[in-house]
Amino acid sequence: MTTQPPMPPAQPEQPDAGAVPTCYRHPDRETYVKCQRCERPICPDCMREAAVGHQCVECVREANRGVRQARAVFGGGHVTSPRVTYTLLAVNILAYLAEVVSTDWVLNTFAMQSYRVGLLGEWWRLITSAFLHAPPTGGGFGLTHILFNMWALYAVGPELERRLGALRFAALYLISAIGGSIGVYLLGISAVGASGAIYGLFGALFVVSKRLGYDPRGVLWLIGINVVLTFLLPGISWQGHLGGLVTGSLVAVAFAYAPEKNRSLVQWGGAGAILAVLVLLVAVFPPSLFLVGG
C-alpha cells in the first residue's frame, strides 16, 4: 500500500512588491510616508508633527493619554492667554457704549438701586450694575471712572487668572461684583461701576501673595491708596468698595488655602457658601438697612 507524502503547509500570500502603499485610514490615497511609531502608511490629513518625523492620529492620541496636563498653581486649568480678563474688559466697554447711546434707559434699567432690588425684586441689578460706569455726560468722574477700573482690571486680572485658572478667576470676579452690590444694598442707595469687583481682585491679590510667600506690601500700598481716595473724593461708593474687598478676599482664601485632598470640592464649596450668604443677606434684610435704622 502506497502512502501520499503530507502536503506542505499553506504559505500566506505575499503582497505584491510593486503595489503602491495607501493610507491606512484612507485606502484611496497613495502615500509613501509612514508613522514613526507604528509604521503604518499615513496621508497628509493623517500626519501629526512629532519630535522626529510624523505620527498617525491614533499614536498621538495614545501618547497624550499619558501626558499630565498643566495646571494653575491653585488647581485650575493652565492659562496661556487671560481670555476671561479680556472678555470682562470687552463687556464693560460694550456696556459703556450702550450708556453713551441711551444713558437714561440703561441706568434706569440696570444700575444698582437698593430699593428696586429689595422692594421690586429686580435682582439682576446686583450683577449688571458692576458692568456700568458713570456716563461721560453725567458729571463727576465721567470717562475717568471706566478708564481707571479697566486699567486696574488689565493690570491685576491676568496675573490672578494665571494663578487661579480661568473658571476660578471668573467666579472670583463675579462673586466680588455681587459682594460690592450687596454692600450698596445694605449700606447705600445706588451705585454703578466695576469697583466692587476690582477691589475684590485687590483683596484676592493680597491673599494669593501671602499664600505664595511673596512680599504683600506692594498690594497693601495699592489697597491703602485706593481706600484713601475712596473717602477723599466725592461721589465714590465706599459701600461697594468695602463689600467687594471683603468678598473677594474670602473667595481667594477658599481658593488659595484649600487642601490638596479634594481641593476642587473645597474650593467650589467655599465659593458657593459665600455666594449663598450674599443671597441670604438680600433675602432677609431690607435695603439700606443701616441707613434707615432697619
Contact 174, 197 (CB under 8 A): yes
- The residue length of the chain stands at 294
Catalytic machinery residues: 195, 241
For the beta carbon of residue 280, count every other beta carbon within 10 angstroms: 10
- Closest C-alpha among 282, 276, 237, 245 to residue 132: 237
- State CA 26 to chain mean position distance: 41
Report whether 204 contacts 251 (CB < 8 A): yes
Helix, strand, coil: what percent of the chain each, to 5?
60, 5, 35
Residue given cell 484649600 in the structure block:
258
> CA–CA separation, 23 vs 54, rounded Å?
13
DSSP assignment of 185-217 = HHH-SEE-SSHHHHHHHHHHHHHHHHHTT--TH
Nearest Cα residue to 142 out of 235, 227, 229: 235
Beta bridge partners of 54: 49
Dump the DSSP string for 209-275.
HHHTT--THHHHHHHHHHHHHHHHSTT--HHHHHHHHHHHHHHHHHHHS--STTHHHHHHHHHHHHH
Task: Please give the distance of CA 250 from its chain centroid, rounded to a whole number.
Answer: 17
Residue labelled with grid coordinates 478708564: 147
